Structure 1
Amino acid sequence: MQEDIVILDGGMSRELERLGAPFRQPEWSALALIETPDIVGRVHAEFIESGAEVITTNNYAVVPFHLGEERFAADGRSLIELSGRLARTAAARRKGVRVAGCVPPVFGSYLPQDFDPVQAPALLGEIVAGLAPYADLWLLETMSSIEEMEAAAKVSSAAAKPLWVSYTLEDDDPDPSAARLRSGEAVPAAVEAAVAAGAEAVLFNCSAPEVMETGLRQAAATVPDGVRIGVYANAFTKPADERPANDGIEEIRHDLDPDTYVRWARRWQALGATVIGGCCGIGCRHIEALSRGLKAPGQSS
């Protein structure tokens, strides 16, 4: 396993804030694209220097949910393309670094009940078309339901690239033996749907580290040979049901320092995870620790 680990980058938003980019709701990380795109490029470069082998385009919040419908209609496509160019430029500076084109939940994080199958294809189509010239693979991030994932996978297939699907799990699942998506759907069914959609990797992101092991166990028992599994957890202090999604700037846990996060990652690795990185609140120092702690000296994937 050690030789096969792929290190993802971490969460963009707090690193943007650390370097001085504007950061607030409702625009979230999209605000940096609008006002300080140079800092977006710097964060990508710092993640690469820290050991990230896959960096993700910074368009997660370039959706009407965050920008508003008028601003998205006017500027969305250009901002999406900018996010792709910035990531591609950063990746080009180091051999082997890949760009994951972010395909986010277009109606807000953790809100499967708000998914609109009629409006989704057009919004997703803008994202895929804008990122297609720059991305090496598609990363469907923070998918809260099978329906949301399937819609994103269908639109992404218009620009053929490797497909990675990442689901977000309930932070406070009452059954510790069976993880569930934010929609309440069971992980095995979600994994099967992702594989049927063509996923080469099935990941779990933007949930607490404590819930990831159950999801990984179920995924490992479900995926066929050749499909990777992995994790990039967040560092929020409260589970999602105790904080409205996308409403204010959440506090970050102080107990998830880089060494602690690596200890979690080693447990995920032991369960078969071969793609590991970080989500909200997991920064460059964490990624550097992952790169040192999980990969053999001189190893790259």
Structure 2
Amino acid sequence: MSETLQELLEKSNRTLILDGPLGTELTRRGFDVDRPGWSARALVENPELVLQIHLDYVAAGANLLTANTFRTHAVNLKEWSPAQNARELTSIAVELAQQAAGNACLVCGSVSPLGDSYRPQTSLSEDWLIEQHEKMLDELTSVGVDILLVETQTTFRELKVILRLIEKYSIPTMLSVVSFDGLHLLDGTPLPDIAELVTRSKIVALGCNCVPVEIVNTVLNSLKDNQLPKIVYANSGYQNAEGTWVQSLGANLDEHTELAKSWIQHGVRILGGCCGTEVPLIAKFAEKFGEDSV
């Protein structure tokens, strides 16, 4: 794609379509991600499948593809195989996304939290967080991603570390956080505190992911004091207290799309899908909200 993210966002009537989840599609197509290494294993065991999923999102109308780097942090690979090189896996993930993107899409490098996204660790040392995230940011920038996507962030402490680190990179960065109630991060930090913090950073878009569609408008209201373009990619449901996945309105294409219309009215400029959603949702978004529909 010849245009940069900033140039695309400057088109005030343009909704950019982000892709959907890779892990969900891997599972749907028969790849077992319920093992150490999670979705990163597919980069070694079935890279052709990863490439095909990216290609399917491109065909559906996505403008932004997310490389499969959510679990290529070295610390998140250690239970799988110490022989696996995090830098090599990150490079493979980005190369596959770039191959699929061609000139049609920009490629985002996923920067995930360290550890379990739904059970945030608040006691990790700051020096360790800096070391781990700096490695990942260096790896992503060295292999040429177009955008850094700092996603699924759940703790104020880890988020502040990442925001400090991105100051040395010239790549545009988007931030997406997780909330269970639409008002707080999972560590209890009020979302307006995030909105205020981000105003002093290099972030170019702010929003949420990995949340049920029913609370997205509450999240957007909590972030309303920040004037950045908003990004949303919500789930098809939610995980209950027993750890069971419960389908919600997000599992219905028409309901999810109708809700997305209200998110766009609240400033969402980048729209995709997260856990449990599938390629047809991205196709529906592209049809309803993409460039050709403007």
TM range (shorter): 0.7 to 0.9
Please identify, of 100-109 and 62-71, the stretch whose mean Cα deviation from structure 2 is larger: 62-71
Give the alignment partner of residue 8 of structure 1, picking from 4, 13, 18.
18
SS at match of 1:119: helix
CA contact (8 A) 2:212 2:248 kept: no
What is the CA–CA distance in structure 2 between the aligned matches of 1:159 and 1:189, rounded to whole Å?
Answer: 24
1:1-301 equivalent positions in 2, closer than 5 A: 3-64=13-74, 66-68=76-78, 71=81, 74-92=84-102, 94-95=103-104, 97-110=105-118, 111-132=120-141, 133-170=143-180, 173=181, 179-220=183-224, 222-224=225-227, 227-239=228-240, 241-243=241-243, 251=245, 253=247, 255=249, 256-295=251-290, 297=292
What is the CA–CA distance in structure 2 between the aligned matches of 1:204 and 1:10, rounded to whole Å?
Answer: 14
SS at match of 1:14: helix
SS at match of 1:113: coil
CA shift for structure 1 position 44: 0.9
Residues 286 and 26 (structure 1), Cα distance of their counterparts in 2 relative to 1, 3 Å cut: same
What is the CA–CA distance in structure 2 between the aligned matches of 1:17 and 1:69, rounded to whole Å?
Answer: 20
Unaligned runs of 5+ in 2: 1-10
Residues 27 and 83 (structure 1), Cα distance of their counterparts in 2 relative to 1, 3 Å cut: same
Counterpart residue identity of residue 152, structure 1: I
What is the CA–CA distance in structure 2 between the aligned matches of 1:32 and 1:215, rounded to whole Å?
Answer: 33
CA shift for structure 1 position 146: 2.1
Counterpart residue identity of residue 194, structure 1: V
Counterpart residue identity of residue 21, structure 1: F
SS at match of 1:266: helix
Deviations 1:275-298 (A, max 9, x none): 111111111111001111223536
What is the CA–CA distance in structure 2 between the aligned matches of 1:125 and 1:71, rounded to whole Å?
Answer: 22
Deviations 1:153-204 (A, max 9, x none): 233333321111111012xx3xxxx611111111111111122121110010
CA contact (8 A) 1:14 1:283 kept: yes
CA contact (8 A) 2:217 2:263 kept: yes
CA shift for structure 1 position 66: 3.9
CA contact (8 A) 2:43 2:92 kept: yes
SS at match of 2:231: strand
Deviations 1:75-96 (A, max 9, x none): 211111111111111111x43x
Residues 188 and 100 (structure 1), Cα distance of their counterparts in 2 relative to 1, 3 Å cut: same
Deviations 1:88-143 (A, max 9, x none): 11111x43x11111111023213142543221122212211222122111110111
What is the CA–CA distance in structure 2 between the aligned matches of 1:252 and 1:12, rounded to whole Å?
Answer: 19
Deviations 1:21-71 (A, max 9, x none): 332133221121121111111111111111111111101122355422683
What is the CA–CA distance in structure 1 between the aligned matches of 2:49 and 2:219, rounded to whole Å?
Answer: 34
Please identify, of 158-167 and 67-76, the stretch whose mean Cα deviation from structure 2 is larger: 67-76
Counterpart residue identity of residue 94, structure 2: G
The TM-score, its normalising length taken from structure 1, stands at 0.85
Moved over 6 A (4+): none
CA contact (8 A) 1:252 1:281 kept: no
Residues 188 and 237 (structure 1), Cα distance of their counterparts in 2 relative to 1, 3 Å cut: closer
The TM-score, its normalising length taken from structure 2, stands at 0.87
Q: Which has the higher strand share?
A: 2
What is the CA–CA distance in structure 2 between the aligned matches of 1:292 and 1:99, rounded to whole Å?
Answer: 21
SS at match of 1:15: helix
Once the two structures are aligned, what percentage of the paired residues are identical? 25
Count residues with an aligned counterpart.
Answer: 281
Q: Paired residue for 1:247?
A: none
